[in-house]
Amino acid sequence: MISLTINGEVRDVPAGKLLSDLIEELDLPDTRIAIEVNGSVIRRNAWCDVTLSDSDVLEIIHFVGGG
C-alpha cells in the first residue's frame, strides 16, 4: 500500500495505482475538474499515464459559487 494525501485527507491505496483509476474509484466526473499532483497540474489526457507514488499530494478541484 502507498499513502496519498488527497485534498488534505490521507488515503491508502494499493501500490501502482494509476491516477485515472483513482478518479474513477472516487466517483468523480472526468470533465470540469482538474488535478494537481505535488504542485503540478496533470493534463486530462495524461491521467492514465501517471502512476501514483507513496506520499504524493493531490489537489482535485471543481467549481462552486463565488464572486
Partner 1 sequence: MSDSARIEESSLRLAGKEFGSRLIIGTGKYRSFSEMKEAHKASGAEMVTVAVNRVPLDGSTESFLDHLDPSMQILPNTAGCFDSEHAIRTARLAREALGTDWIKLEVIGDKTTLLPDNEQTLEAAKVLVAEGFIVLPYFSDDLIMAKKLLDAGCPAVMPLAAPIGSGLGVQNPANLRIMREQLKDALIIVDAGVGTASDAAIAMELGADAILMNTAIAEASDAPKMARAMKLAVEAGRLAFESGRMPKRLYASASSPIEGAIQ
| Binding site residues, partner 1, CB under 8 A | 6-9, 11, 26-29, 32-36, 39, 41, 43-44, 59-67
d(CA 60, CA 35): 5
Q: Give Rg (Cα) of the chain.
A: 12
- Looking at the Cβ atoms of 6 and 18, the one nearer to partner 1 is 6
CB of 38 to partner 1, least distance (A): 11
CB of 63 to partner 1, least distance (A): 5
Tally the C-alpha atoms within 13 A of residue 46's C-alpha that lie toward its C-beta.
11
